[in-house]
């Protein structure tokens, strides 16, 4: 790796332990800057302190506009995407990607654009598939693509997605990744390990569209974050959804976000119906003594709202078909002799 090289690491669920283990195995003389994104949202992050306690390479939260120095670990701070531009670190509060800010894809894309073949991307443990599209860009521009072995990850979905959609250079247990990075930095030829077989070539048919007598097919699908119209397109073998304000999702993240928003709206409707039942009951109790019919109508309206609240609550709590989860489970249960992955 040239002196201008850089390493970008992305992690999500289980990432704190994985990152601590990785940096603990790096020597204090490690010269290449390391940029880290962990899905922490807007919550307070103690990750730099944890990494400093784990290993000798100094770690800190990245600051907007600062120069990238060799031998340092820069961590994306809460609620900010970390990117590289004009040989400096930039922090932006851009739209969430895959429901995350900071997200891994913006960092990977930026290091691919800025460093080309001198960029190294590493995907560690995590749910869903943030980082896959960014890793695809690193690989497209000649960089090195590394993923933790899904069988070795506490949460294998992110590494599995990378292995399925990107022609990885290395797919290794976490314990072997530090030595590989050291070898790459020292310009040694690390021996490439066999890649796990992927399922990217499987036939995946779209679910059948069932015509409804009640609802017309919507003109478009809207963004769970802002309600804007989404367009979809394919990047390699990945389907991506993007709205005009900049929120973007892979198909799996879109499915999860849409389902969460749908459940939230339906539970809000249950609350409104329950409140209407209470309001109508209070009106019945405070009705004029001389107008018994009016009181009866309020009582009837209260019972109707309560009845519909119960029905809607039962509907919300039923089992729902989740093809996106079924797909992940199907991939996991193909067997270790075929994919090396587990669910």
Q: Give the residue numbers annotated as catalytic, written as ranges.
A: 12, 39, 130
102 preceded by cis ω (within 30°)? Answer: yes
Pair 158, 125: CB distance under 8 Å: yes
Sheet architecture: strand order including 230-235: 230-235, 238-243, 248-250
- Strand (E) or helix (H) holding 299: helix 292-316
Spell out a b/e string for 215-230, using b for 16 or more CB atoms within 10 Å of the CB, else e.
eeeeeeeebbbeeeeb
- C-alpha angle 242-245-249 in degrees, rounded to nearest 5: 25
Phi, psi of 328 (to 5 degrees): -65, -40
Tokens 């001389």 belong to residue? 290
Helix axis angle, 47-54 to 15-24, nearest 10°: 30
- Among 151, 128, 171, 145, CA closest to 259: 128
Measured CA to CA, the distance from residue 158 to residue 170 in angstroms comes to 15
Residue 321, class by beta-carbon neighbours within 10 Å (0-12 exposed, 13-18 middle, 19+ buried)?
exposed
Rg of the chain, C-alpha, whole Å: 25
Structure tokens at 33: 């800057």
Bridge-based pairing of strands 6-11 and 34-38 is parallel
Pair 280, 234: CB distance under 8 Å: no
Measured CA to CA, the distance from residue 151 to residue 155 in angstroms comes to 9
| SS3 label, residue 245 | coil
Measured CA to CA, the distance from residue 111 to residue 120 in angstroms comes to 8
């Amino acid at each position: 790796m040239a002196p201008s090289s850089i390493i970008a690491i992305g992690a999500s669920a289980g990432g704190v332990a994985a990152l601590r283990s990785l940096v603990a195995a790096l020597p204090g003389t490690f010269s290449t800057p390391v940029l880290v994104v962990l899905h922490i949202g807007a919550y307070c992050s103690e990750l730099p302190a944890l990494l400093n306690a784990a290993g000798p390479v100094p770690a800190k939260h990245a600051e907007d506009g600062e120069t990238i120095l060799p031998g340092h670990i820069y961590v994306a701070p809460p609620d900010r995407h970390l990117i590289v531009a004009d040989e400096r670190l930039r922090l932006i509060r851009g739209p969430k990607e895959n429901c995350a800010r900071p997200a891994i894809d913006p960092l990977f894309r930026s290091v691919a654009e800025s460093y080309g073949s001198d960029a190294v991307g590493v995907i560690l443990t995590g749910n869903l598939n943030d980082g896959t599209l960014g890793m695809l860009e690193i690989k497209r521009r000649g960089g090195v693509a590394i993923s933790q072995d899904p069988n070795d990850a506490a949460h294998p979905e992110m590494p599995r997605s990378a292995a399925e959609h990107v022609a990885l250079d290395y797919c290794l247990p976490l314990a072997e990744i530090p030595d590989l990075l050291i070898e790459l930095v020292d310009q040694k030829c690390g021996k490439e390990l066999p890649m796990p077989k992927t399922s990217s070539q499987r036939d995946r048919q779209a679910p059948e569209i069932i015509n409804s007598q009640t609802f017309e097919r919507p003109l478009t699908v809207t963004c769970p974050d802002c309600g804007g119209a989404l367009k979809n397109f394919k990047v390699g073998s990945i389907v991506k959804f993007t709205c005009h304000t900049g929120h973007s999702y892979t198909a799996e993240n879109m499915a999860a976000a849409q389902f969460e928003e749908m459940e939230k709206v339906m539970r809000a409707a249950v609350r409104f119906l329950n409140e209407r039942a209470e309001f109508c009951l209070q009106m019945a109790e405070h009705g004029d003594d001389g107008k018994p019919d009016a009181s009866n109508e309020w009582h009837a309206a209260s019972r109707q709202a309560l009845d519909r609240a119960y029905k809607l609550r039962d509907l919300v709590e039923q089992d729902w078909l989740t093809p996106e989860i079924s797909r992940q489970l199907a991939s996991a249960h193909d067997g270790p002799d075929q994919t090396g992955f587990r669910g």
